[in-house]
């Protein structure tokens, strides 16, 4: 995930929320420091700066099942719909 702060104040990404759904299958965020999957950074993103980080997700679902991601930051919502590959 890449986040660019186009505002004039720092962004605190510790309040970023990620929800993953795949039908009725259980899904969870996966953290793996050895692979660089550490979740959102804890340091605020300065105005005009960008940051990249990795999210890992695991679902107990089969290939072709729906995969829906909802990313919430404050009042902002990004929704992505797809299928498991």
pLDDT band at 4 (very low <50, low <70, confident <90, very high): very high
Read off the pTM. Answer: 0.71
DSSP letter, residue 46: P
Closest CA to 10 of 50, 42, 46: 46
5, 12 in Cβ contact below 8 A?
A: no
Contacts of 39 (CB under 8 A, 6+ apart): 29, 31, 53, 55
Query: If you average pLDDT over residues 17-33, what whole number do you get?
Result: 90
Closest CA to 78 of 16, 10, 4: 16
Residue 33 has pLDDT above 90, yes or no: no
pLDDT in tens, 36-85: 898 888 899 999 999 999 888 889 999 999 999 999 988 999 999 999 88
68, 80 in Cβ contact below 8 A?
A: yes
Give Rg (Cα) of the chain.
14
């Amino acid at each position: 995930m890449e986040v660019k702060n186009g505002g004039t104040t720092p962004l605190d990404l510790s309040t970023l929320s990620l929800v993953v759904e795949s039908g009725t299958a259980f899904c969870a965020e996966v953290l793996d420091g050895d692979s660089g999957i550490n979740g959102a950074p804890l340091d605020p993103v300065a105005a005009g700066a960008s940051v990249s980080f990795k999210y890992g997700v695991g679902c107990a679902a089969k290939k072709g099942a729906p995969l829906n991601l909802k990313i919430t930051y404050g009042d902002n919502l990004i929704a992505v719909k797809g299928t498991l590959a």
